[in-house]
Structures are given as structure tokens and as C-alpha cells.
Amino acid sequence: MKRRLLLFDTISLIFLVSGTIMISFLGCTQQEELINESTVEQVMERGVLRVGMSTFVPWAMKDKTGKLIGFEIDVAARLANDMSVKVEFVPTKWDGIIPALITGKFDIIIGGMGINPKRNLKVNFSNPYDFTGMSLVAHKELAAGFSSLEDFNTPDITIVARLGATSVAAAHKFIPKAKLLQFDDESQAIQELLNGKAHAMVSSAPFPSFQSLKFPETLFLPLKENFTKEPIGFAVKKGDYDTINFLNNWIIFVQEEDWFAERKNYWFNTVDWQTLVK
């Protein structure tokens, strides 16, 4: 009887040890697979960081030669340089940029994308590397005397915004009674405003202020300050925590150099770059 019990205990111990080794092996294998599948590992192996973006002054735009320039272009180029890889920009319509990321048309979205719960259900966001806010630029004649959001919050007011942008949600929330027209890009929206077919445009700062400076005879800023504050982050596919970890630590590293503040000051608080696009 004792021999049978000893034999049983020995066999049980063998199975226990074997099972532990197998679980450990499977765990290591799964971990290696997750690492190999991460975006950052694929980018390093490929040697190219593919960046999804959409033109939006002054985040991303083309200069006189057709080259992309802007705050987000600088950010993407710096990120790629620090990874010792090349950068490839993939211009994409804003309303389709998240589906394009999910289907693998590029590795990351770097385009002034505001972090919000609805988007976070579809993608993983890094920590914020910038903050922006919503502002209004209005038609001088149609919105004469307007100085508050309430002035625009009536059914006879027409507001324009960019399709798929957070400005749409801001318009619905803060001026819900106004009629909202959406366009594929900001140039179409601002043209509608310039043509006198809308009272104002809702957009992320500093775009409204740039437009009021560019067209001072037609447009003006009815509000003294932005009426929202939004965190801006990088977006990658869900489940890619290895890449998120790298991006978060990269943001901390670059912030300590004040590099983000320096580039934002150049693109948002000066007009030195405007000669490059005129």
C-alpha cells in the first residue's frame, strides 16, 4: 500500500513539474508572439514608420514645393528619427482615419487627434503630448455683435465644421440649436464661411485665429478664449501595449527637453512659417 502511495505521489509530482514547465514555456512563447506582433517591433524590422495624418493648418500642410510641414509633421519626424527609422506619411481623410489604422494602412495616427472615450473604444491612446481647444471664427457681417456661444445657439444660425473632427461633438454640445454643416476638410468649411453661407466655423485652435488674420475684412474672432480643452495623443491599434509603453516613455523624454513647447510655439504662436506656404 505504501509503495502504491509513493508511486502515485511520484507520478503526481512528475505531472506537476511537467505542467509547470509547459505553462512556463507557453507563457514565454505567447509573450514572444505579442512582442513580435507589436507595432514598434514591426516598425523597427521594416525600417519605416508609417504615419496616418490629415492636412490641417498648422498641424500638417504642404509648402510651396509640395512637401509636408507643420507641428505634427515635426513630431512624427522626431519620433521616427529617435527610433532610427524613416518616416512615411499616409494622407487620409479625417472621418476615415481610424478605420484605416485598424485595417493596417499605417502604423500610428499622429494628427492632433483629441483623446475621447468614443475613439478610445476603437484605438489605444498614448498619454497626451499636447493640449488644444475649440474656438470659433465668424463672418463679420452675418455675426456682427456676437460675443458668446449663446449668440450662436439659435435655429437660424448655420455653423460649419470638419467631418469626423472633435469640433463636430463640440458644436453639438455647446451650440446644439444651431444648424451644423460638415465638410471633408477645413478648406471647404472655411470657404463656405467666406462665401457668406454660414455664420461661423468651429475648429481647433489656432486655426480660427489664423483665418481671422488671413481674411481680416471678412472674418473675426467672437470669443476671447477657447471654449474647450482637449488632450492630444498618438493612436495605435487596440491591444498593442508594448507600443503604448514605448510612446509614453518617449513623450516623457521629449517633454523634459521642452521640445514640444518649442515646436508648438513656432507653429502656433508665430507666423514665421507662413512664407513657406504662400
Residue 129 vs residues 32, 132, 251, 252: alpha-carbon distances, Å: 29, 10, 6, 8
Number of domains in the chain: 2
Same domain, 45 and 113: yes
Tell me, yes or no, whether 34 lies in a domain: no
Tell me, yes or no, whether 18 lies in a domain: no
Same domain, 88 and 111: yes
Tell me, yes or no, whether 86 lies in a domain: yes
Tell me, yes or no, whether 33 lies in a domain: no
Asked which of 220, 245, 264 is the last residue of a domain, the reply is 220
CA dist 125 and 179 (Å) reads 32
Same domain, 138 and 209: yes
Cell 507563457, located at residue: 27
Same domain, 139 and 265: no
Tell me, yes or no, whether 10 lies in a domain: no
Tell me, yes or no, whether 201 lies in a domain: yes
Cell 524590422, located at residue: 45
Same domain, 122 and 46: yes
The predicted model scores a pTM of 0.73
pLDDT, tens digit only, all 278 positions of the chain: 555 545 455 555 555 555 555 545 544 454 444 455 799 999 999 999 999 999 888 899 999 999 999 999 999 999 999 999 999 999 999 989 999 999 999 999 999 999 999 999 999 999 999 998 999 999 999 999 999 999 999 999 999 999 988 899 999 999 999 999 999 888 899 999 999 999 999 998 888 988 998 899 999 999 988 999 889 999 999 999 999 999 999 999 999 999 999 999 899 878 789 889 87
SS3 label, residue 26: helix
Which residues of the chain form beta strands (DSSP E)?
A: 48-53, 61-62, 68-69, 86-91, 108-109, 123-125, 130-132, 134-139, 158-162, 179-183, 200-204, 219-220, 230-232, 235-237
Same domain, 116 and 148: no
Residue 201, domain extent: 134-220
**CATH (domain of 266):** 3.40.190.10
Same domain, 181 and 199: yes
pLDDT score of 198 = 98
CA dist 42 and 25 (Å) reads 23
Same domain, 192 and 125: no
Tell me, yes or no, whether 31 lies in a domain: no
pLDDT score of 1 = 54
